[in-house]
Structure 1
């Protein structure tokens, strides 16, 4: 096997291992635990299974039925400032990784 090919294979395996390690560190979400955390979300996003509170004017998305991984990533992006929304940044800043995982588990299990 050629030297560049070995380097490419090692690099690819390293990337896969790094991704698997990152996923392994994510806490498992507990939908039941989120039930006492969703009140803040419902203020703008509405009650799961119903329309959002501000669908047209503010373009607030529905959370029910979204993929859990997407929801966690979005909350992390708000917390880090990568996504820009003052209210969401403040809310996300108060969430732990477990809170995010719990909320994601709750909303991903709801209907759109």
Structure 2
């Protein structure tokens, strides 16, 4: 039973993100940009959690979601740490980042920083 509870606590926030995106009344933006893997860089394993809203390339799918492409890696890393700790009080982001460790956050920050910035 404890494993089921842990799974539900970690999986439900991610599922909510996907469902909220699918039920949104706003039309998704289409940037037409594909994610670019810089030489020697592999997409992070957790990219799907972020890409549901921010896009794999860091170009958000909706106007009210921030673009991450081209942001400074240290800024993105600190923002993720702040969301996870509750210093930035956004329950949805806290739930999504709840199961991601520091190494994984750094990989996500580096990935989005390496993407071409939004125009």
Aligned length: 78
Q: Which runs of 5+ in 1 are unaligned?
A: 1-29
Tell me the equivalent position of 1:32.
42
Tell me the equivalent position of 2:55.
46
Q: Structure 2 CA distance, aligned partners of 1:99 and 1:31? A: 14
Q: Structure 1 CA distance, aligned partners of 2:116 and 2:84? A: 26
**Structure 2 residue corresponding to 1:87, chosen from 92, 97, 106:** 92
Tell me the equivalent position of 1:64.
69
TM-score w.r.t. the length of structure 2 is: 0.60
Structure 1 residue 79: Cα displacement: 0.6
Structure 1 residue 33: Cα displacement: 5.4
| CA RMSD after TM alignment | 1.8
The answer to which structure has the higher helix fraction is 1
Specify the SS of the correspondent of 1:44.
helix
Distance 1:31 1:88, change over 3 A: farther
- Who wins on radius of gyration, i.e. which is larger? 1
Q: Which runs of 5+ in 2 are unaligned?
A: 1-39
Q: Structure 1 CA distance, aligned partners of 2:41 and 2:87? A: 26
Task: Could you list the structure 1 runs, at least 4 aligned residues long, displaced by more than 2 angstroms after superposition.
Answer: none
Alpha-carbon displacement from aligned partner over 1:71-97 (angstroms, at most 9, x marks no partner): 110000001101111110011111100
